[in-house]
Chain A
């Protein structure tokens, strides 16, 4: 028995019929082909699935697509502006904030929410602001530097 949904993703309205149990992460990846959002742990721990829903960072593996009905979502694919990298994307490039890249879209979307709430975070605020995102490669040090780079660029 399908549920009708209408969700705006990266500025485009998408409508469809989905099973209620379709996870938001799977909707984005499989129905919309937006595979930048990753499923890492599938147990709400790692944050690789993080997207912005109605202005707030959420773990899309722990939401059903139907819960986002009528809402607005921004994924990693929605950050760049006409091919120009968002300062966060530029920061992760400049400051080597990624190795394998699996956690990176989630890290960037969490950082996006952090910076919109707190445009000038301390190092500790960045670390606790990203406490919902796990990285197995980098040891977090360059991730923090990447976010600091972006914060400074966005403030200027």
Chain B
């Protein structure tokens, strides 16, 4: 249906956007791809008085080498991430996960910045940035901040972003040598939202022992979270089937309230978390070379 009425601005620079955001404050919402916000507005669950469209700021979409890692502009679309040879070579899990978001039409418009700032509990990219230890860089009329991914997702649909801040860049460190990554999810059949999704980054020593692991879970609780117990169980193990199974069984340990809705019960999500953790770990370990 039709959204409520709003005042619309389409700045052509980041500085223009931060000025508008400072001016309108909590009356304003930023519009990136809009494929989380506009559906909410059409249901009138969100009724912002002002929309600041970031879509005309060409300087906000980019994928660049940064050391061994990447600097990604917040307005980069999921299709751009999915098809980027730079992303595929440096952070393959990001290209893999971006290609699993929703469907082609949504990916053509949806952005990494929008996905992270909206922090949908069933979004895919939050799990990926938490697992790779990304840094989120903001722009505002005041200081720029750099927020660690571990600290970025605070609660349901809530991030650490202040009302006058724009998430402008996602900085991803280079992966250590002999590191494999994977994102595995059980997607809702219509929307493809993650009923549960798990991102795994596994570094393997020359003797086949797991040197380190970072595992993040989405869809299961109110926000994307690290599976610290599973990481501890996996690190130092020889990554055989029983080690992976034991670690995956602990992937949901940090989640006290599994989501319960029409798509899955809390109990089923808890079960799916262990299944998809095992799949993600197994695939990531096999890709570490």
Is this pair of chains taken from one and the same complex?
yes
A64 to B8, CA, bound (A): 10
Q: Please judge, given known A-B contacts A42-B42, A131-B192, A134-B190, whether A58 and B34 are in contact too, CB under 8 Å.
A: no
Q: Taking the complex as formed, is B15 at the interface, i.e. its CB lies under 8 A from any CB of chain A?
A: no
Inter-chain contacts of A42 with B (CB < 8 A): 1, 42
Nearest CB in chain B: distance from A110 CB, A: 7
Inter-chain contacts of A62 with B (CB < 8 A): 34-35, 38-39, 42, 109
Q: Please judge, given known A-B contacts A44-B35, A134-B190, whether A20 and B105 are in contact too, CB under 8 Å.
A: no
A114 adjacent to B8 (CB under 8 Å): no
B34 adjacent to A67 (CB under 8 Å): yes
Q: Taking the complex as formed, is A21 at the interface, i.e. its CB lies under 8 A from any CB of chain B?
A: yes
Looking across the interface, which residue of chain A has its beta carbon closest to that of B51?
A20
B106 adjacent to A44 (CB under 8 Å): yes
Nearest CB in chain B: distance from A4 CB, A: 11
A129 adjacent to B104 (CB under 8 Å): yes
Q: Taking the complex as formed, is B266 at the interface, i.e. its CB lies under 8 A from any CB of chain A?
A: no
Nearest CB in chain B: distance from A141 CB, A: 18
Q: Taking the complex as formed, is A74 at the interface, i.e. its CB lies under 8 A from any CB of chain B?
A: no
B109 adjacent to A43 (CB under 8 Å): no
A20 adjacent to B108 (CB under 8 Å): no
Q: Please judge, given known A-B contacts A20-B51, A23-B2, A44-B35, whether A66 and B10 are in contact too, CB under 8 Å.
A: yes
B38 adjacent to A66 (CB under 8 Å): no
Interface string of A89-116 (1 = CB under 8 A from B): 0000000000000000000001001100
B4 adjacent to A21 (CB under 8 Å): yes
A43 adjacent to B39 (CB under 8 Å): yes
Q: B-side interface residues toward A, CB under 8 Å?
A: 1-8, 10, 31, 34-35, 38-39, 42-43, 51, 53, 55, 79, 102-106, 108-109, 190-192
Contacts A/B (CB < 8 Å), 7 sampled? A1-B7, A21-B2, A44-B39, A64-B8, A114-B104, A131-B192, A134-B190
Q: A-side interface residues toward B, CB under 8 Å?
A: 1, 3, 19-21, 23, 42-45, 47, 50, 56-59, 62-64, 66-67, 69, 110, 113-114, 129, 131-134
